[in-house]
A and B are shown apart, each in its own frame.
Chain A
Amino acid sequence: MNAIRRWMPEWLSPTALGLFAGAVAALHFLPRAVELSPYDHNQITLAFVFIAAALAWNWLGGFVGQVSFGHSAMFGVGGFVAARLILTATALPFWLTWLAGGAIAGLYALAWGHPTLRLRGPYFSIATIGVGEATRLLLTYWTQFTGGVSGLMLPINPDLKYSLYWYGLYFLALVAAASYVLRHSRLGLGLLAIKSDVDAAADVGVGVVFCQDLVLFLSGAVLGVAGGFYASYFSFIEPNDMFGFDRSISFVLMAVIGGVGTVFGPVLGAIVFVLLRQFLIASYPQLYLGLYGVLLIVVVLFEPLGLSGLIFRLTRRLRTLRAAR
């Protein structure tokens, strides 16, 4: 054990690594071990992508502390870049189109984010609402790129959809690992300092602009790849869905419900969100907005650290109870 410990960086916990590897392995073999219905198989595939998106949103919203209500802008840019490439550069493998979408989306995030991150707190968030909506309106208008309101149809590939499960899984694994590294690394500590007091952070040497720009790019890029994935999955995308305010809100909700600022929180939140959405679409499709709203209110007032905060509190209470006995 000590031999293993020696080559691992000190912030990497062996338990976390073990759990991570175990979960990935389990999920890898799940569809073959268990008889999953095509519906469930596809839902899990989609869930992988949403979890990854929530994790990436959280890098900016939870780790740095700048809440973005406009992340659908990058999701959409990535999706449409990937879709355009699939349609025009047919020789390109689809995952490369995702990467291209991610890169462009990341750069787009940098373009509007770099100047805007000078703003603090609510003013940044308000600006992001503006960015998201402006992107939607402008790109809907740019019909040559997005196909206007009718969107873009992609060639359907039935074999692809099945294998998207594993693409999604490994995409998520990468993003989750990056999330853990970001949180526990030197950069992560710097981000927390920025979140606490940006001026004091600069006063002790933290390169605030560089750190924020890096997170901005990474967060936007992952959202872009997620958009590309979404396009391949549905073989159809349209601007109002991709760039919608509701979509931006879904990222916020997933992270907030699960626990902003933690590594595992957005995972929990995204899972709950996806399950909730399925349930609501089936039983109470007209109530989903209100329910999201109530969830936000409840989380903010009672458990600002979301589900992961709740779990943390409960385990601590159990521990003190056990110690008291």
Chain B
Amino acid sequence: MARGLDLLLSAVLLAGLYATMAYGLGLIYGVLRIVNLNHGGMIMAGAYMGWLLHSRLGIDPYLSLPLVAAVSFGFGVLLYRTLVMHLPRGAAGGVQSLLLLFGVWLVLRNAAYLMFTGNDQVIQTEYANKAVMVLGTSQSLNRLVVFGIAAVTLLGLHLLLTRTYVGKAIRAVAQNADSCTLVGIHVERIYMLTFGIGTALAGIAGLLGGTIFAFNPTFGAVELLKCFVIVVLGGLGSALGTAAAALVLAAVEVFAILLIPAYLTAAVGFVLLVLVLIFRPGGFFGQRVLG
């Protein structure tokens, strides 16, 4: 019983991270109709940025978050302005955007190999593994902090999208970009902004993930697939859906360790993805993700 609660809490804490990872991907797809295959690359970049600041300048990773977020945002905007903006829109752009952003990911991966070698790194702070008692189970401090930050980030995002003019403009563009130009919304600027925000979220999630998991330049690939599972399961445009789907995935992973060896848990995500895409492309909440 205690074991079950322990696992469940682990799942909840993990779900916070997963939800943050997935939201950026879903946001970009929902607004620009582009599947950002560089999402994994940005997650990896965020982890390395945090690691760099921590190991070279001694800055606590959670404190460096705003900086990493800002740099990621800037990179996303730059990426949009120089490359993504020139892609053809609509169905034709689908394959092209996949290939283009995948290319960017390859470049980032190579850069990481060159700068940091392929060895595993982790952002290790002294207090990270302190055990904290929560509901009678022991959880590590860093996971709790990650969950807290993730929750705050997602809440902030939710407020941004619902309470601010920019946020409402973003949601409007997601629904019907053409009509937006009629009411004076600068659609291209919204696209750029959204791409930046989505990228920033990936960077933040990467930084947070880097404090929990060991990472190397291939970090982000498995996470990307998990994000797809969450986005497809949870539907688009539904914060609740994303959160719920993240929880489902995290729970499946955490409890699957009881049955299969650890390194196969990644396979769980993939199999789940393929199954979900085949049987429930509409997800359980939100709109249909297909076409």
Which A residues are within 8 Å of any B CB, using their own CB?
Answer: 65, 67, 112, 115-116, 118-123, 125-127, 129-131, 133-134, 137-138, 141, 245, 249, 252, 256, 286-297, 299-301, 304
Question: What chain B residues lie within 8 Å of A131 (beta carbons)?
Answer: 270, 274
- Establish whether residues A286 and B113, one from each chain, have CB atoms under 8 Å apart when the complex forms: yes
- Residue contact A118 to B95, C-beta cutoff 8 Å: no
Question: CB distance A137 to B267 under 8 Å?
Answer: yes
B83 within 8 A of A: yes
Query: What are 24 A-B contacts defined by CB distance under 8 Å?
Result: A116-B278, A122-B35, A122-B94, A123-B289, A127-B273, A127-B277, A129-B225, A130-B269, A130-B274, A137-B263, A137-B266, A289-B110, A291-B110, A293-B103, A293-B107, A293-B109, A293-B110, A295-B103, A296-B100, A296-B106, A297-B100, A300-B96, A300-B99, A300-B100
Binding site for A on B (CB under 8 A): 35, 83, 86-87, 91, 94-100, 102-111, 113-114, 221-222, 225, 228, 232, 261, 263-264, 266-267, 269-271, 273-274, 277-278, 281, 289-291
Say whether A130 contacts B95, CB under 8 Å: no
Contacts A121-B91, A123-B277, A290-B110 given; indicate if A296 touches B103 (C-beta within 8 A): yes
- Provided the pairs A133-B225, A293-B107 are in contact, do residues A125 and B264 lie with their beta carbons within 8 angstroms? no
Identify which of A65, A67, A137, A295 gathers the most chain B CB atoms within 10 Å of its CB.
Answer: A137
Least distance between B20 CB and chain A CB atoms (Å):
20
Residues of A within 8 A of B114 (CB): 286-287
Q: Please give the distance in Å from B70's CB to the nearest CB on chain A.
A: 25
How many contacting A-B pairs (Cβ < 8 A)?
130
- Report how far A33 CA is from B156 CA in the complex, Å: 72
Instruction: Kindly provide the distance from the CB of A191 to the nearest chain B CB, expressed in whole angstroms.
Output: 15
Q: How far apart are B35's CB and chain A's nearest CB, in angstroms? A: 4
Partner of A297, one of B83, B278, B281, B291: B83
Chain B nearest CB from A115 CB (Å) reads: 5
Contacts of B107 in A (CB 8 A): 289-290, 293-294, 297
The reply to whether A115 and B278 form a contact with Cβ atoms under 8 Å apart is yes
| CB-based contact B270/A130 at 8 Å | yes
With the chains together, A292 CA to B104 CA distance in Å? 10
Per DSSP, chain B at the interface is helix
Q: In the complex, what distance in Å separates the CA atom of A130 from the CA atom of B229?
A: 10
- How many angstroms from the CA of A129 to the CA of B266 in the assembled complex? 13
Establish whether residues A290 and B96, one from each chain, have CB atoms under 8 Å apart when the complex forms. Answer: no
Listed residue (B95, B263, B271) with the most chain A CB atoms within 10 angstroms of its CB:
B95
* Chain B residue with the shortest CB-CB distance to A289: B110
Question: Are B273 and A126 touching (Cβ within 8 A)?
Answer: yes
* Other-chain residue from A123, A137, A291, A301 in contact with B270 (beta carbon distance below 8 A): A137
| Residues of chain B lying within 8 A (CB to CB) of residue A301 | 83, 86-87, 100
What's the nearest-Cβ distance from chain A to residue B253, in Å?
A: 14
Docked Cα-Cα span, A129 to B270, in Å, equals 8
Residues of A within 8 A of B95 (CB): 65, 67, 121-122, 125
B117 nearest CB neighbor, chain A only: A286
